[in-house]
A and B are shown apart, each in its own frame.
Chain A
Amino acid sequence: MANIQDIAAYAENSAKKLGIAKYDIYGSSVDDTSVQVDKGEPKQVKASNRASVIVRVWNDDNLIGVTSTTDVDSIGIELALKTAYEASAFGAKEHVPDFSPEATKPTAEVSTTLATQAPVADLLKTLIATEKELLESHSAIASVPYNGLAQSGIDRFYLNSSGALRSEERTYASIYLYGKTEQEGRKPRAAGAIRIHQGLDALDVQGCLKETMEKTISHLNYEKIKTGKYRVVFSAEAFLGLLGAFSNLYNAQSILDKLSLSTPDSLGTQIASPLLSVYDDALHPENVSAETFDGEGTPTRRIPLITEGVLTNFLHSAGTAKRLNAQPTGHASIGAKVSVSPHFYHVVPGQAAEQAYSLDDAENVILIDDLQALHAGVSALQGSFSLPFDGWLVNKGKRVSIESATVAGDFRDVLKSIIFVESEPEITPGGVCPRIWVDDLSITGE
């Protein structure tokens, strides 16, 4: 497969031949392997070695055209440039993106470990042993219908016709387990966990196993819950899920498109309880997939989004930053229309709370462990959500699994109704966040 220098050379030669003076390319190649098992036997192994690039071309009228391709040889790159040039005739005439002014600025030094890819036999052996241990951990755990152990190596790069050229390499390993119970006369129950690390050797397989086992067993004895208003405690996973679903609040592109709950004037307004502060931090040490530059080549960085409840920054591409008189923040993905998205959340307590809460002595609170169907139950443009969840009713530390229920509300109200942000952070693949306590949320049970 072509390497970045090859692709740069193909692009330069083809652009010259086609009379294209200005272009940039973002691309990646991925080499990954994943395994699944079923009751002690290998079920499916997947391996892939693939590459893709997205090419942007500016024509003589400074209109932009884009094409993505998986053909990264000289013929494929030339065809992509040609097609992008053709598409440029229909490019947006206003707010045309330009190269990022930071595409050649130094990126952060990130300490990463590149793991050697383990043999498939090792992946299978590890997953089969883990599945066996999970099945033997409790008589009610009858199967692990969803499981997987994967490793991948990713090379990504950005280059442009003004001489920017940067690349980085990462490796990842991940495991997920989802246990399911079967008991006579009882409904099947299921729960899972996931872990990710830079390589298989350091992957916390036992932690994933233990969490899956404990969660699955904790849902065996379930009860219905009365419909009503409850004090709710969101796990890190659940709160970050909601935060991500409503990221239009601080997404500059969404704001400029008028597809946001915020406006350009929202900066500096109190949108959450002063107890809450939120950062987006691609370079956070716990972010296994730390990327040092975005799709426009802009270096990534730590951005305060909400500081003690006040909206302090938006996430930007080079184009949105220019339009809103701000700096690019390293959150762009290139395309005919550049999009903006968060990297890795870091949620911390803001102002000190007047009262601290603990699940050990709280009464009748709901601990939401995992929100489901975020793609379906969130109206991101209206601020509302209505979502099924996995969780427990907690009374003075005693947890009883909730059979089936939904939580509903307006995310803006949730942010303002936060009564406590715990101090102990939980690490998830999407960010670091403590448990968040919120008052008066609607729960639909029976």
Chain B
Amino acid sequence: MTLAMTRGTLLRSGELPSLQYTATRDRFDPTWEAPLSTLLGLGRAAGADFIEIFLERKNYISCLAEDDAITSVSPSLVTGAGVRVFVGKADCYVSTNDLSFTGLRAALEKGLSIMGLLLPAPNSHISGINLEILRDYATAREKESWLTNASSMQEMGDILLSANADLAKKATHIQARRAAYFRDWQEVMVAASDGTFARDIRLTQSVGYSLLCADGEHRSSINQRVGDTSDPNFLRSWRYQDTADEVAEAAGKMLYADYVESGSYPIIMANHFGGVIFHEACGHLLETTQIERETTPFIDKKGEKIAHENLTAWDEGLTPDEFGTLDMDDEGMPTQRTLLIENGVLKNFLADRAGSMRTGHPRTGSGRRQGYTYAAASRMRNTYIAPNDYSLDDLFASVDNGIYCKKMGGGSVGPTGQFNFAVSEAYQIENGKITKPLKGATLIGEAIEIMPKISMSSNDLSLAPGFCGSVSGSIYVTVGQPHIKVDSITVGGR
């Protein structure tokens, strides 16, 4: 851990304009304590109940290979800060690109004025906030070298071209093939008037394929990617040959698939990205954001049975290298493992600071945001249904006429709890056996009705990276589950 510098002393606000803090421009380090402590003290002295300052630097790059050429290398450099001011349970969030002391003070002043508060009068005595010794996860976990050790532009291009060439050998009827990679390096610092002072570095990477095949009027498109949050060697160690095998096989099978006939069916959902059903159908409804809006049917169900007794589910930020893994959330709270549902009984909600204050549920290290332009909100991390004792054969044997949803597309949940998501690779199940491929299926339902129908889970839990868009922007998450059986669900089709 890095030690904080000397604590702030009493200041006279009339002297503030002449203060020239020189916190580093290119690194968030302990020198930030003095200006942040002063700003937080100013905010509290103005009458705010709570102040939080979030600093962010981002170094992002994406690379795209189309057929046999690199067609895009896009770096992006972002610097910004957000100042959040609470008065009672109401809050105001002001963001800026200007990380100078003057710029941050202007953002604070704007936030205060929106809340009806003014910076203290000249010559008032203002106390800086005593911040904890910097909790520096970046230094403690040796993340400082992550950016320099990640793949170079040259290496990105070489690997994507090799990967695309491999896909060309394996797939048939190719119309377009793409391999895409991104690396998102983010340094964050959080300081708050309760003394929170923490820093972290995150390195999120993802790589994958997008394949479009066509034969006359028949078309299939398959997307598949893998992701990681802490390994600079991630791209170098990508086994693209395996991914190419899977993508080529799926595209080939789906090319001549029939459209699914709409109706109500028992379904078996594959493990891995199949977990998006739980993410959409239930996970979002367990965020305190939804309680605040009264848009979750589970609002008063803590301790009650909301799902089949065979279902247990977790949300956590601890599993190494998973897409939703964090050392701390975007409010500076260490991440944790949160039991959501145990044997069908609702155990916990996911809460950020504001959500906890407004709903009474304890914070769970789930305050997350896309970046400095968003206030943190309660969001999921690695969310999955726990494995159970059934075998895959048990699940299939229980279905006479149903659908096997092998690969899921995206989905969403509405304000009344109704969810929907697309199935990108599906097969008919007849008498317990997988038969013909099907396309065009959409699964529709309501969480409160579907959860009790998840009656069987197998023992093959697998996790998959995903992107989740919601009130605090797009964040990296993991979805997951073992194979599960849903006794009956509406399938939209032709």
Chain A residues with CB under 8 Å of chain B are 1, 33, 38, 41-52, 65-72, 75-76, 79-80, 83-84, 86-87, 89-94, 120, 142-143, 145-146, 178, 180, 187-190, 227, 257-259, 335-337, 372-373, 375-377, 379, 381-384, 386-388, 404, 406, 408-409, 442, 444, 446
Contacts and interface: CB of A to CB of B under 8 A. Distances in A.
Nearest to A34: B93
Interface in B436-470: 439-442, 444, 446
Contacts of B97: 1, 49-52, 70-72
B73 A65 contact: yes
Given A257-B176, A375-B412, A386-B441, A408 B75 contact: no
B45 to A, nearest CB: 21
Nearest to B415: A190
Given A44-B375, A71-B77, A376 B411 contact: yes
A14 to B, nearest CB: 14
A33 B114 CA distance: 10
Contacts of B91: 44-45
Nearest to B442: A386
Given A44-B92, A190-B416, A258 B75 contact: no
Contacts of A48: 94-96, 373
Interface string B150-176: 000110010000000000000000011
Interface in B50-69: 63-64, 66, 69
Contacts of A52: 97
Contact of A337 (B64, B111, B414, B442): B64
A49 B69 contact: no
Given A46-B92, A189-B416, 16 more contacts: A45-B115, A68-B76, A90-B70, A145-B293, A180-B294, A180-B415, A188-B416, A336-B64, A336-B73, A373-B412, A375-B412, A376-B409, A379-B422, A381-B221, A382-B219, A384-B440
Contact of B263 (A145, A190, A227): A227
A47 B73 contact: no
B420 interface: yes
B73 A409 contact: no
B27 interface: no
Given A382-B221, A386-B441, A70 B411 contact: no
Contact of A50 (B74, B95, B421): B95
A258 B212 contact: yes
A406 B262 contact: yes
Interface of B: 25, 63-64, 66, 69-80, 89-98, 107, 110-111, 114-115, 153-154, 157, 175-176, 212, 219-221, 259, 262-264, 292-295, 373, 375, 409-412, 414-418, 420-422, 439-442, 444, 446, 490-494
A295 B259 CA distance: 40
A383 B72 CA distance: 26
Given A1-B98, A86-B153, A408-B494, A382 B220 contact: yes
Given A375-B412, A408-B440, A44 B93 contact: yes
Among A93, A190, A386, the most chain B Cβ lie within 10 Å of the Cβ of A386
A48 B75 CA distance: 24
A404 B492 CA distance: 11
B415 A258 contact: no
Contacts of A43: 90, 292
A278 B492 CA distance: 29
B475 to A, nearest CB: 16
A430 B409 CA distance: 26
Given A258-B212, A375-B410, A386-B442, A143 B294 contact: yes
Given A1-B97, A335-B74, A377-B420, A47 B111 contact: yes
A387 B262 CA distance: 12
Contacts of A69: 76-78
A443 to B, nearest CB: 8
Nearest to A406: B492
A145 B64 contact: no
A335 B60 CA distance: 14
A409 B420 CA distance: 17
A70 B80 contact: yes
B416 A388 contact: no
B74 A66 contact: yes
Given A70-B97, A120-B114, A406-B262, A444 B490 contact: yes
B197 to A, nearest CB: 24
Given A70-B78, A388-B420, A90 B153 contact: yes
Contacts of A384: 259, 439-440
Contact of B96 (A49, A335, A409, A442): A49
Contact of A68 (B77, B293, B375, B441): B77
Nearest to A180: B415
A340 B390 CA distance: 50
19 contacts: A38-B292, A45-B91, A47-B92, A47-B93, A49-B96, A75-B25, A76-B77, A83-B77, A90-B63, A94-B69, A145-B295, A258-B175, A336-B73, A373-B410, A376-B420, A376-B442, A379-B422, A386-B442, A406-B442
A68 B59 CA distance: 10
A75 B70 CA distance: 29
Nearest to B373: A48
Nearest to B280: A376
Contact of A87 (B153, B176, B220, B418): B153
Contacts of A80: 77
A67 to B, nearest CB: 5
A83 B153 CA distance: 11
A376 to B, nearest CB: 4
Contacts of B89: 41
B176 A259 contact: yes
Given A50-B373, A337-B71, A45 B262 contact: no
B418 A404 contact: yes
Contacts of B66: 257
A190 B294 CA distance: 12
Contacts of B446: 187, 404
Nearest to B100: A73
A439 to B, nearest CB: 15
Contacts of A190: 414-416
Nearest to A387: B442
B7 to A, nearest CB: 30
Given A90-B154, A381-B219, A50 B96 contact: yes
B256 to A, nearest CB: 12
Contacts of B76: 67-69
Contacts of A41: 89-90
B39 to A, nearest CB: 16
Given A41-B90, A43-B90, A93 B73 contact: no
Given A372-B414, A373-B411, A404-B444, A47 B494 contact: no
A142 B97 CA distance: 39
Contacts of A404: 418, 444, 446, 490
Contacts of A94: 69
A87 B70 CA distance: 12
B293 A93 contact: no
A43 B95 CA distance: 17
B416 A187 contact: yes
Contacts of A258: 175-176, 212
B420 A373 contact: yes
Among B111, B421, B493, the most chain A Cβ lie within 10 Å of the Cβ of B493
Contact of A66 (B73, B98, B295, B490): B73
A188 B295 CA distance: 9
Nearest to B494: A442
